[in-house]
Structure 1
Amino acid sequence: MHEGPPSGDNRRVTDIPRRTVSRTAKLAGLPLGVAGRAAAGWGRRLVGGDAEQISAQLMAKSAEQLFAVLGELKGGAMKFGQALSVFEAAVPEELAGPYREALTKLQSAAPPMPFADVERMLAEQFGRNWPSRFQEFDETPAAAASIGQVHRAVWRDGRDVAVKVQYPGAEEAVLSDLRQLSRMSRLLQPLAPGMEIKPLIEEMRERMVEELDYRDEADNQRKFAAEFDGDDKVRVPKVVASAPRAMVTEWVTGTPMSSIIRDGSTERRDQAGALLAEFHYSAPARLGLLHADPHPGNFQVVDDGRLLVLDYGAVARLPGGLPRELTIMTRYALQQRPDDLMDLMVAEGFVKPDTGVTAEEAIAYLSPFTDPLRTPTFTFSRAWLRAQAERVGDLRSPDFDTGRFLNLPPQYLLVHRVTLGTLGVLCQLGAQVPLRGIVGHWQPELFADDTPVAGG
């Protein structure tokens, strides 16, 4: 639960231009702060300091500054931080602690806006008589995130509800943040091994206009809620009311995924991992939509054992389910069919003609990513994800050279990011998951060929 704003906080909608200048200055200060610490660390090394210890201290301070800035600013800065939070599992263990604490805070923590602004936004969205819609309304936010905050209330028919209210000036802040972060993408690259930061930011910018209209989010959530109504594995809160900058849904709560990652038993983490994998792979097949914001702050496990899924602002529309081409590419990699794999990768634009990449190099690069599908169950771990990140990111690795010549076509970018993000959460959980059976059920073509699967 978040505390209310401190007394004397009189920020108003008219403060937006001044605050935009301030937030830009704070973001611009991030690279300067990191560079200054790096210079100081280099100086300490020259006088005999321990290099690894100094590097760890620099990383810790950089992580602290990152959270302080991104968390305080909300908007696109915090949205970007949430996307990064799933990749902390790929950061080397000696540096993971500071990043883990700083980035996971971004999943559900942000300073709240004053209740006067909440009242003003609700009056704009639902009319001056908006209080008549509620029996009760808690002025203290229950959660404060990237572009809006959530209040608990009781609807006029007695239902407990969650009221999501967008921050005034959110659109301007989000787009300003993402422009600034794009300029510093190289500096931020170490935070997400194996994922290119700049395309991630560009993709987020393209989708943010959609997320800023809560009517679109409400429409997405209604579709998910209808499909998973009565499901024994997934719970989606129903939408009660919606407007462009505010929406009301059923109040449902459970154990946060971040708590299960931090303190859950092995059985609890395995259960949460299997539920998350089932949701990720089943939704495209069941309703042609993919929930596209897979950070732990959007998932909880309710008392009846189901996965509670929140925040439907970002979705991928996949009328035919997950792209068939990706399924077939995965099958070829599993079955060690390099020539077939290369032909399909060239046809789909993953390998541009005349790059010099051989079929054997391509399958050597991709095959390890299919390890979770080679056995009936697979134990996801930070060590496994770090090994994959190091393999494709190490300048001395042959796979690094191969990766430089591979291409990710725009139509596959969102699916790739969401799948990688989901794997990142599974690795944070350290969950043992029967992934082969889950994926095979929803993508039967993956194992339809009679050719034996290597390692199966």
Structure 2
Amino acid sequence: MSQPSKSSGVAVPSRRLSRLWHLGRATTDLAAGIGVKGMFEIARSRSGGAPPRLQLSVEHTRRFTDRLARMRGAVMKMGQLMSMDGSDVFTPEVAEVMSALRERAEPMPLSQLNQVLEREYGSDWNKRFRRFEFTPIAAASIGQVHRAETRDGRRLALKIQFPGVRDSIDSDIANLGMLGQTFGMAPKGIDIKPFLEEARRQLHREADYAAEAAALEDYRRWVGDDPDFVVPGVHHDLSTENILAMDFIEGVPIDRLAGPDYRREHRDRTASRLMRLTLRELFEFGLVQTDPNFGNYLYVPATDQIALLDFGATHAVEPELIAEFRRLALAAVNDDRDGLRASSIAIGYMGENDPSPQVEAMLDLLQLSAEPLRDSSGYDFGASNIFERAYHQGRDLFQSGAFSTTPAPDTMFLHRKFMGSFMLSRRLRARVDLAAMVEVIIRSPRPAPAAAS
């Protein structure tokens, strides 16, 4: 077993008052960075003005993100979502600093890590392992991952939950709701409470390692013997309420394929495989891994496979919603605006009696979003500006306050997954034949695999 090295980690604040204090400090940094002019812009946007462009200083933003990275948990997860929306809300410099939240969290110090290991495995926990790497190979909002090898030779990735994170989710979300109200992070007429409630449920699922293990095994059953992918197995004898033990898989970060060492056809094939998987998740599996973080995929050069990691955000989708999304996708592909409108009403994108100009604008936006599905020659994500066009149209509609309904909150995570898959294809500058996938997956989905005996 490797020896512990000096840690630069920061203890996770676990008590409610401590987390409230940290969030209060983060809020103070945010308010100081926005200043009087920024607060005026927020007030103006609440009265129906344009969305505010917050002129935060880079230094105040860095303090804000550092505070969230120390807290981990729900506040960091929501900060990551905020950082996805940097092009119009924040200045480019601030958006760049905010983006760091998507890639890092402070690890636990060794003393806190040892307390968790002793609590879960006992004081002689080290006897279970031939080798344990004390420096984590990854750290995120809920926990951190360590590489280990058991006495019987199994090479594992141990996902170890930060102490107190599960118990802090409810209070964190409540405090974030107050923060969102204070800084006007929802447009006029939109009630963000259902979305915060869905985020709260999702975070509780992510903190439930038994549920993640079950989701991972369900997902493995769906993927089956697909030669394009490898899904780690669960080691139940070393999994606990706060530790999830899985196969360790060696690979390179998926976005490294965008570099000069990989050719265009390699990038195209990788993006196509992942896009096919994304469509299968919704339209065949009914089980969607909704976290679009690029770090959840590894490329395995030795086998030319893609390793799929982290199933905490896996979300089961109701058959009725899948059916409506299928009708929506096919209507968009077929330029069937009547069908598009009917499915949009069923999903909640618009109401029966919403103003006609806004309805037509929404239908235009949905058809624009389906542009990659209609290109039978293969859609070139690297040359496309679809994200910019869809973002600006969608932002204006969202801020208009003209719609009488909002979609079910769990659709938020489906949107996030599809946007993440599109963004990865763009990062790889890949060409993907989505039109062919529509024919195979959306029009003629495969039946469910046989249940495990």
SS in 2 for 1:394: helix
Structure 1 distance, partners of 2:176, 2:168, is 12
Counterpart pick for 1:221 among 204, 216, 219: 216
Aligned residue for 2:407, secondary structure, equals coil
Cα drift, residue 291 of structure 1? 0.7
The answer to whether the 8 A contact 1:289-1:319 is kept is: no
Q: How many Å separate the matches in 1 of 2:132 and 2:240?
A: 18
Quick one: structure 1 residues 135 and 262, their matched pair in 2 at CA, closer, same or farther if it must change by over 3 Å?
same
Gap change, CA 1:347 and 1:32, over 3 Å in 2: closer
Could you tell me which of 235, 244, 261 is aligned with 1:240? 235
**SS at the partner of 2:325?**
helix
Residues 261/35 of structure 1: CA separation in 2 closer, same or farther (3 Å cut): farther
The Cα of 1:149 is off from its aligned counterpart by 1.0
Match of 1:79 in 2: 77
Match of 2:151 among 148, 156, 170: 156
| SS at 1:220 equivalent | helix
Counterpart residue number, 1:99: 95
Closer, same or farther: CA 360–117 of 1 in aligned 2, 3 Å: closer
1:331 CA displacement: 1.7
Name the structure 1 match of 2:44: none
1:386 alignment counterpart: 388
Post-superposition CA distance 1:333-366 (Å, at most 9, x none)? 2322222333343345443232233764543232
Tell me what 1:364 maps to: 364
Residue 278 of structure 1: aligned partner: 276
Deviations 1:49-77, CA, capped at 9 Å, x for gaps? xxxxxx89746456534432322221112
Distance 1:60 1:432, change over 3 A: farther
Deviations 1:386-421 (A, max 9, x none): 1111122237xxx97597456313454432332233
Identity of aligned residues (%): 24
Q: Aligned letter for 2:95?
A: Y
Distance across 2 between alignment mates of 1:101 and 1:265? 29
**When the two structures are superposed, what TM-score results if normalisation uses the length of structure 2?**
0.79
Q: Any conservation in 2 of the 1:78–1:106 contact (CA below 8 Å)?
A: yes
Structure 2: gaps (5+ residues): 42-52, 446-453
SS at match of 1:312: coil
Q: How far, CA to CA, are the matches of 1:285 and 1:40 in structure 2?
A: 44
The alignment's C-alpha RMSD in Å is 3.7
Aligned residue number for residue 7 of structure 2? 5
Counterpart-to-counterpart distance in 2, 1:35 and 1:156: 54
Within 5 Å, which residues of 2 pair with 1:277-426? Answer: 277-303=275-301, 304-318=303-317, 320=319, 323-357=322-356, 360-376=360-376, 377-380=378-381, 383-394=385-396, 401=400, 404-405=403-404, 407-410=406-409, 412-426=411-425
Whether the 8 Å contact between 2:333 and 2:370 is mirrored in structure 1 is yes
3-state secondary structure, aligned to 2:217: helix
Quote the residue 2:47 is aligned against: none
The change in CA–CA distance for 1:315 and 1:308 in structure 2 (over 3 A counts) is same
Q: What is the distance in 2 between the residues matched to 1:145 and 1:17?
A: 20
Shift of 1:213: 1.6
SS at match of 2:355: coil
Structure number with higher helix proportion: 1
| C-alpha contact (below 8 Å) 1:236/1:310 kept by paired residues | yes
Unaligned regions of 5+ residues in structure 1, if any? Answer: 43-54, 447-456
Tell me which residue corresponds to 1:49: none
| Mapped partners of 2:54, 2:346: distance in 1 | 44
Counterpart mapping for 1:194-273 below 5 A = 200-241=195-236, 242-260=239-257, 267=264, 268-273=266-271
